[in-house]
């Protein structure tokens, strides 16, 4: 992002007085680095805050927080996936997320595309530090939006994240999934979500040619129940993917 900075000051002596105006442009970029169990988030040289990484205990299959894998009942409803990897927890209420930078950025990402940069670079750091097995992925696949929703919002959060992560990790991004109906999952409960994802997604043209034999990494901003990820992973398996993992910025606190 380019930021114009202006500086005005007066220079005077016994004989003259003049005003000098200096302008320069700063090309500020987002960057992240892991420090202990947090990710420091910078905008240019300025520290904006920290993303708190997912803490133990959590399920190693679905990233559900507060339970061990052995005691988790959530992941038994998830099929097609090796595992879901999350950067941290997402509190889906902006009033409660004021002191939680990760939740605040995820919430803001629903309105402002620019948050793809810090979140995507945070995911890059998270993969390299905590989920090194995902570096073996050969293709990134974003969760699709329905065309009507895409026109309303103007961008697909999942694709924007995948674009940043793919560029950082040098893994190609393939949009091979389609969303068949404009269903808003946020208003649905657990059982309704499970029912809604049935036949909600499909494979696009040439999907099998692009996915056959690939190690796929699904990308999304948030996972709540995991049903969307599961439905998409099952389709990718049918298209010939040898493995499917998922990577998200936040695991929603339910």
Q: How many CB atoms lie within 10 A of CB 90?
A: 25
pLDDT one-digit tens code per residue, 31-61: 999 999 999 999 999 999 999 999 999 999 9
Q: Which of 219, 209, 196, 205 is nearest to 241 (CA)?
A: 209
Q: Which two tokens stand for residue 33?
A: 């680095």
In a domain, 205, yes or no: yes
Residue 44 within a domain: no
CATH number, domain containing residue 165: 3.40.50.2020
d(C-alpha 35, C-alpha 33), whole Å = 6
Within a domain: 34 = no
Instruction: Please indicate, yes or no, if residue 15 is contained in any of the structural domains.
Output: no
Which residues span the domain enclosing 148?
51-252
The H or E element spanning position 211 is: helix 207-211
Q: Tell if the pTM clears 0.85, that is, is over it.
A: yes
Q: Say if CB 142 and CB 156 are below 8 A apart.
A: yes
Digit-coded pLDDT (tens) for 79-132: 999 999 999 999 887 665 568 999 999 999 999 999 999 999 999 999 999 999
Is 19 inside a domain boundary?
no
- For residue 141, tell me if it sits in a domain: yes
Cβ-contact 240, 208 below 8 angstroms: yes
Q: What is the pLDDT of residues 94-109, one digit of tens each?
A: 665 568 999 999 999 9
Residue 40 lies in a domain: no
Quick check: is 114 in a domain? yes
Number of domains in the chain: 1
Q: Prior bond to 57 cis, omega within 30?
A: yes
């Amino acid at each position: 992002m380019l930021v114009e900075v202006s500086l005005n000051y007066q220079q005077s002596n016994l004989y003259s007085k003049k005003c000098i105006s200096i302008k320069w442009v700063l090309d500020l970029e987002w960057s992240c680095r892991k420090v202990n169990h947090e990710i420091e988030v910078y905008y240019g040289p300025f520290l904006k805050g920290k993303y708190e990484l997912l803490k133990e205990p959590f399920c190693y299959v679905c990233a559900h927080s507060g339970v061990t894998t052995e005691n988790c009942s959530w992941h038994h409803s998830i099929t097609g996936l090796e595992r879901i990897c999350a950067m941290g927890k997402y509190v889906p209420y902006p009033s409660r997320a004021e002191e939680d930078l990760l939740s605040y950025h995820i919430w803001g990402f629903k309105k402002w595309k620019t948050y793809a940069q810090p979140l995507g670079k945070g995911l890059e750091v998270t993969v390299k530090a905590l989920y090194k097995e995902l570096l073996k992925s050969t293709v990134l696949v974003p969760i699709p939006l329905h065309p009507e929703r895409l026109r309303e919002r103007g961008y697909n959060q999942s694709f924007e994240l995948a674009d940043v992560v793919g560029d950082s990790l040098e893994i190609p991004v393939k949009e091979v999934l389609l969303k068949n109906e404009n269903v808003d999952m946020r208003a649905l409960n657990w059982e309704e979500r499970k029912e809604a994802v049935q036949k909600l997604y499909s494979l696009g043209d040439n999907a099998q040619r692009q996915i056959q034999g690939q190690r796929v990494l699904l990308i999304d901003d948030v996972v709540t129940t995991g049903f969307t990820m599961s439905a998409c992973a099952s389709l990718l398996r049918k298209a010939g993917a040898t493995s499917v993992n998922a990577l998200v910025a936040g695991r929603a606190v339910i």
